[in-house]
Structure 1
Amino acid sequence: MKVVLLERVENLGAIGDVVTVKDGFARNYLLPRTKALRATSANLKKFELDRAAIEARNEKNKADAQKVADKIDGQTYIMIRQAGETGQLYGSVAGRDVAEAVQAEGGKVERSQVVLHTPIKTLGVHEVLVRLHPEVSATVKMNVARSADEAERQARGENVITSQFEADRQVAHEAAQDMVEGGAGQQEGLGQEA
């Protein structure tokens, strides 16, 4: 199906471009979201008459999105979640969770604007892309931790999972040294000849 784009669509074209897309993509995505019109002669004439208004509206939306992007770009948001000893979350952090965290801090982000190809399933600091407008994006950091203290340590760059394993290994090593020094595991009379 041929459509004329009313706004820039990634990997497709810019405002006013007449492109051929699959029927389902046009019917289910572009047309309902008013991102395009069918490329009929009547719609093309209507588009040319309204082109200035459409471009002005697009510039206003872009400017509004840029204000939001300037506010949230590079910000770090802390999410407290339950996780196992290996750092694997018992659930996951999805786009909805990211949008809610940003909104709680005063940012204007919708769930559909969060670009998260796979859910976050581990502890740590994860970068997430937020596409506020086809031409405006921002990157936020999600600090997923089990506690506020852990989140603070992760923010300083510490890997809390490896630190935890290192601490456990050190305790086990010290316990083994204490047992050896105390004579544990040695039997009397061994090594002596009769």
Structure 2
Amino acid sequence: MEVILRTDVPKLGKAGDIVKVKDGYARNYLIPKGFAIPANQKNIKALEKERQLILAKAERERKKLLSLAEKLEGIELTIYRRKIEEDRIFGSVTAADIVSALKEKGIEIDKKFIELEEPIKKLGTYEIPIKFSSDKVVNIKLEVLEEK
């Protein structure tokens, strides 16, 4: 099935692209979530008019993310956790914890941008990559300290 992407979809295409996907993926995920519309003659004609709007919206979104990336340059976060033994902590530090720590500093970010391979379970200093796009990755410094 061919669909027209309304937003950028990672590993699939950019907004305004016409891509061929499996029927179930389109019907069950892309179309209901509003990420795509079916690529029929009517929609393709409407796409020509809407393409400029989609591209302008995508460009605004990209500029917004780049300005957010500039704000994050050189940010250092400190998160306190209870220590159980040696340098292990009680619980873990996840992407949601990093998002809330950034929110305290006045930076709103979606946790989907934070590239944590696995939750942090030890005290120490970490470099956390925040991936805004395939070409823009910002590393922030995260320090996990013992709660007093």
| TM-score interval for Structure 1 and Structure 2 normalised by the shorter chain | 0.7 to 0.9
Which moves more between the two structures, 99-108 or 43-52? 43-52
Counterpart of 2:60 in structure 1 is 60
Counterpart of 1:116 in structure 2 is 116
Percentage of pairs with the same residue:
32
Counterpart of 1:142 in structure 2 is 142
Aligned length: 148
Distance 1:55 1:128, change over 3 A: same
Residue 111 of structure 2 aligns with an amino acid whose one-letter code is: R
Structure 1 distance, partners of 2:134, 2:29, is 15
Structure 2 distance, partners of 1:83, 1:6, is 47
Contact 1:62/1:135, CA 8 A, preserved across alignment: no
Structure 2 distance, partners of 1:136, 1:50, is 27
Distance 1:77 1:23, change over 3 A: farther
Runs of at least 5 residues in structure 2 that lack an aligned partner in the other structure = none
In angstroms, what is the RMSD of aligned CA positions? 2.4
Contact 2:16/2:55, CA 8 A, preserved across alignment: no
Distance 1:86 1:41, change over 3 A: farther
Structure 1 distance, partners of 2:63, 2:41, is 32
Runs of at least 5 residues in structure 1 that lack an aligned partner in the other structure = 149-194
5 Å matches for 1:1-194?
A: 1-132=1-132, 136-147=136-147
TM-score by length of 2: 0.83
Cα deviation, 1:137-178, whole Å, max 9, x if unaligned, reads: 432222111148xxxxxxxxxxxxxxxxxxxxxxxxxxxxxx
Structure 2 distance, partners of 1:132, 1:113, is 6
Cα deviation, 1:2-21, whole Å, max 9, x if unaligned, reads: 22222332222223322223
Distance 1:67 1:28, change over 3 A: farther
Cα deviation, 1:102-141, whole Å, max 9, x if unaligned, reads: 1110112123332323211121122223344676443222
Q: Residue 84 of structure 1 aligns to a residue in which SS? A: strand
Contact 1:76/1:142, CA 8 A, preserved across alignment: yes
Structure 2 distance, partners of 1:32, 1:142, is 37
Contact 1:8/1:134, CA 8 A, preserved across alignment: no
Residue 47 of structure 1 aligns with an amino acid whose one-letter code is: L
Contact 1:61/1:133, CA 8 A, preserved across alignment: no
| Structure having greater relative contact order (Cα 8 Å, sep ≥ 6) | 2
Deviation of 1:52 (Å): 0.7
